Copies of this chain bind each other. A is one copy, B any other.
């Protein structure tokens, strides 16, 4: 079964920590050991793993991406969100996290983030747990 989270983002560009929600879904699965694939079915946001302690890291990541791929970059795509599409391909649309003893095996400082690049929107996050 696919599990699904619904995440409401509140800004155009925003990293939203979804670690607790992913953990909550995993708690109800009977997956002792395996891999969790956390996936966004969208093309203007991504999923990334990064530091969950100092919130300045999130701001540094979004600011750096904004300098690399500015919102107004003379793009051909006419919807005004070409930068969001480009960032989505740089960051990626999923992460794979190892599961052991029914828990996500994350490093001490790791959190899982929905990387919103064209919000605010209601986003879905899909999860598939593979035993192995």
Q: Which residues of A contact B (CB under 8 A)?
A: 1-2, 33-35, 37, 39-43, 48-51, 54, 56-57, 59-61, 63-65, 68-69, 73, 75-79, 82, 85-86, 88-98, 100, 105-110, 115, 124, 126, 128-132
Contacts and interface: CB of A to CB of B under 8 A. Distances in A.
A5 B1 CA distance: 28
Given A57-B82, A61-B89, A100 B130 contact: no
A126 B98 contact: yes
B128 A98 contact: yes
A108 B128 CA distance: 19
Contact of A49 (B43, B48, B98, B129): B43
18 contacts: A2-B98, A35-B128, A39-B105, A41-B105, A41-B107, A43-B51, A43-B110, A50-B85, A56-B75, A56-B78, A56-B82, A60-B75, A60-B77, A60-B82, A64-B75, A90-B90, A105-B126, A131-B132
Contact of A39 (B1, B56, B98): B98
